[in-house]
Amino acid sequence: MIETALKVLFILLYATFVGFMFMGIIRIVTARIHRRVGPPIYQPILDTIKLLSKESNITHGFIYDFGILYAVGATILAVMFIPLGSIGVLRAYGDLILITFLLEIPMLGIMFAAMSSGNPWAGIGAQRALLTLLAIQVPLGFAVIALAEYYGTFSTYEIVMAQQISGWSIAHFPLLLAAIAYDLVLQAMFGKEPFDIMIAPGEISLGPMVEFGGKHMGLLNIQHAIALFAETLFFSNIFLGGGVVTAFSSPVLNTIAGLLVLLVKQIAVLLVATFMAAIFPRFTIDQAAKFYWKWPTIIAALGAILASL
Amino acid sequence: MVDWRLFDPLIEYARKRSMWIVAFCTGCGGIEMPPLATARYDFERFGIMPNPAPRMADLFLITGYVTPKTLKRIIITYEMQPDPKYVLAHGSCPLNGGIYWDAYNAIKHLDKYIPVDVAIAGCMPRPEAVMDGIQKMMELIETGKADGWKRYRENYEYYRKNQDELFGEGWRERTARMWIPWLMKGNNRGEE
Ligand code: SF4
């Protein structure tokens, strides 16, 4: 019991810290692409401390507070289901559909909060976010089906174990197609540039985030950090072979090595997303919906068909 | 109970190193903001981030002359920001009217309407000068002297009196309702 509680605490702290570092890495890499110096890597932590220490806070009622907590809670739950190397609390139950679903729940929480603020910009942002969420479901569904068809299981942990024997998922052609589609979907899940239509800084103020200030925004920052961690972790688990290392004799060393291997894979996923975000301008919402229902869907469907042959 | 004063140095440091600017560009100084944010004078080094939403902002740059019409929006934006908030007036116009000293339609002393923490003279100031002002602001925040938001709370009657003198009582409601008759008329015309 106590061991499980310690594990939960460790995963939570690790995910938050690494997530904040990821946010810092995104900002630094974007700055370097623009030939700027950029902020220090721990900048998101300072931002969060500042936001949490604001002395006046506004609230627009119960749902406004609850939506944020709901988003944070759902993200934490998602992290618990994803196998983190050889550490994992609920990894035996973490099947693909559940995790994909849990990674989208936070968006709904943010939407609740944004809609209850009554700000018209937040309303427009929520509408765009829900349309994006709707559009990414199709390629996402095909990618999940391709994986399940290929490995014959929905369990994330078993997929990681199967990759230990048969090589990374992206080494197989049908799954490579699924991975490409999933990577395009990740861009929208991160809220990064070609598909950051729901936040759209400058276009619709800040979309759903426009009314959040002070402690609400601080909590959302934490949620964003954990979500970044969870999404990259899920991608590296199902497509890049996860982080199970059995090279050393002691289990502690194996665990640490597994975490490091995972970290490298997660950063690779993150960098691809950052590079894409830095060079592509934003789509309008109708273009994004059309795009997701066209190319990623075709690619992922092809992958699913090839995987089931 | 945790004694939160223990964490005060950390909080002051975080406030100093992560000032978010609300992107409110008034007057000519708006043209001096993009160079500050881009590759040559990169202010993201200090954790400053331009932000379109007033709810998340800490630092309010008044970048030039302020007309009464803009001042209404400035006051509303200022009041929307959550509490440790700092105002940096930038250029000669917010200080004393600058070259618009005899204009009927420019505010001469911004400090009478919202509390200003740091002012930079110049028409218009170089980005280095703005950086200098930001540096000064950081110093003030660290020593706890950037207390414009406290002054606004404590002397609210004074600021409110000056605002009402300029715009007349109940200006918020009047500004909000300003377009309703016009819209109604437009609708009627559409129906005809
Ligand atoms: S100080 Fe000079 S540059 Fe600045 S707003 Fe006034 S006239 Fe324009």
pLDDT at A21: 92
Whether the pLDDT of residue B2 is over 70: the answer is no
- For residues B76 and B113, the answer to whether their CB atoms sit within 8 Å is no
- For residues A173 and B41, the answer to whether their CB atoms sit within 8 Å is no
> Which residue from A219, A271, A252 is spatially nearest to A28, judged by alpha carbons?
A271
Whether the pLDDT of residue B67 is over 50: the answer is yes
Nearest residue CA, atom 5 of ligand 1?
Answer: B64
Confidence of residue B186 (pLDDT cuts 50, 70, 90): low
β-strand B118-120 against B86-90: which pairing, if any? parallel
Cβ pair A50:B18 closer than 8 A: yes
User: Which of A46, A60, A68 has the highest number of chain B CBs within 10 A, making it the mutation to test binding with B?
Assistant: A46
Cβ pair B47:A53 closer than 8 A: no
- Average pLDDT over chain A, rounded to an integer: 86
> Which residue from A213, A46, A56, A53 is spatially nearest to B149, judged by alpha carbons?
A56
| Residues A275, A140: Cα–Cα separation, whole Å | 22
With pLDDT > 90 as the criterion, what percentage of chain A qualifies?
A: 10
Q: Where would I find the H helices in B19-126? A: 33-37, 68-80, 93-96
If you ran DSSP here, which 8-state letter would residue B51 be given?
Answer: E
Residue with tokens 């917010």: B94
User: Which of A54, A124, A209 has the highest number of chain B CBs within 10 A, making it the mutation to test binding with B?
Assistant: A54
Section A28-50 average pLDDT: 90
Q: Which of B14, B17, B44 lies at the smallest CB-CB distance from A31?
A: B44
pLDDT at A28: 92
- Sequence-ordered list of residues with C-beta below 8 angstroms from that of B89, at least 6 positions apart, any chain: B62, B95, B110, B111, B116, B118, B119, B120
Q: Which of B17, B38, B83 lies at the smallest CB-CB distance from A54?
A: B83
Whether the pLDDT of residue B188 is over 70: the answer is no
Contacts of B82 in chain A (CB under 8 A): 54-58, 213-214
Contacts of A206 in chain B (CB under 8 A): 51-53, 56
The residue with greater pLDDT, B3 or A308, is: A308
Contacts of B20 in chain A (CB under 8 A): 47
B123 CB near ligand 1 (under 6 Å): yes
Contacts of B44 in chain A (CB under 8 A): 27, 31, 36-39
Cβ pair B44:A57 closer than 8 A: no
Assess whether the previous peptide bond of A107 is cis (omega < 30° from 0): no
**HEC-encoded secondary structure of chain A:** CHHHHHHHHHHHHHHHHHHHHHHHHHHHHHHHHCCCCCCCCCHHHHHHHHHHCCCCCCCCCHHHHHHHHHHHHHHHHHHHHCCECCECCCHHHCEHHHHHHHHHHHHHHHHHHHHHCCCHHHHHHHHHHHHHHHHHHHHHHHHHHHHHHHHCCCEHHHHHHHHHHHCCHHHCHHHHHHHHHHHHHHHHHHCCHHHCCCCCCCCCCCHHHHHCCCHHHHHHHHHHHHHHHHHHHHHHHHHCCCCCCCCCCCHHHHHHHHHHHHHHHHHHHHHHHHHHHHHCCCCCHHHHHHHHHHHHHHHHHHHHHHHHC
- Average pLDDT over chain B, rounded to an integer: 85
Ordered strands of the B118-120 beta sheet: B49-51, B20-22, B59-62, B86-90, B118-120
If you ran DSSP here, which 8-state letter would residue B48 be given?
Answer: -
Count CB atoms within 10 A of the CB of residue A141.
Answer: 16
Which atom of ligand 1 lies closest to the CA of B99? Answer: 7
Q: Which two tokens stand for residue A15?
A: 């995910």
The residue with greater pLDDT, A237 or B146, is: A237
β-strand B49-51 against B59-62: which pairing, if any? unpaired
CA A39 to chain centre: 23
Instruction: HSE, CB side, 13 Å, CA atoms: give it for residue B158.
Output: 10
Q: How far is the CA of B93 from the centre of ligand 1 (A)?
A: 6
pLDDT at B63: 87
Whether the pLDDT of residue A5 is over 60: the answer is yes
Section A63-84 average pLDDT: 88
Section A114-143 average pLDDT: 86
pLDDT at A121: 86
Section A277-294 average pLDDT: 88
Q: Which two tokens stand for residue A92?
A: 């035996």
B116-173 pLDDT tens trace = 989 998 888 888 888 899 899 988 888 888 788 888 888 889 988 888 888 888 888 8
Whether the pLDDT of residue A127 is over 50: the answer is yes
Contacts of A49 in chain B (CB under 8 A): 10-11, 14, 18
Contacts of B83 in chain A (CB under 8 A): 54-56
Cβ pair B11:A49 closer than 8 A: yes
Residue of A nearest to B17 (CA): A46
B168-181 pLDDT tens trace = 888 888 888 888 88
| Residues A224, A189: Cα–Cα separation, whole Å | 11
Which atom of ligand 1 lies closest to the CA of B27? Answer: 5
Cβ pair B44:A39 closer than 8 A: yes
Mutate to test the pocket of ligand 1, among B88, B123, B126 (most ligand atoms within 8 A of CB): B123
Q: What is the pTM of this model?
A: 0.87
pLDDT at A20: 92
pLDDT at A95: 84
Q: Which two tokens stand for residue A241?
A: 């072979």
> Which residue from B115, B120, B119 is spatially nearest to B148, judged by alpha carbons?
B115
Count CB atoms within 10 A of the CB of residue A20.
Answer: 25
Amino acid at A82: I
Confidence of residue B192 (pLDDT cuts 50, 70, 90): very low
Section B54-58 average pLDDT: 86
Cβ pair A202:B81 closer than 8 A: no
Count CB atoms within 10 A of the CB of residue A300.
Answer: 28
pLDDT at A24: 92
Q: How far is the CA of B30 from the centre of ligand 1 (A)?
A: 10
Confidence of residue A2 (pLDDT cuts 50, 70, 90): confident
| Residues B167, B170: Cα–Cα separation, whole Å | 8
B28 CB near ligand 1 (under 6 Å): yes
Q: How far is B40 from chain A (nearest CA, A)?
A: 7
The residue with greater pLDDT, B1 or A131, is: A131
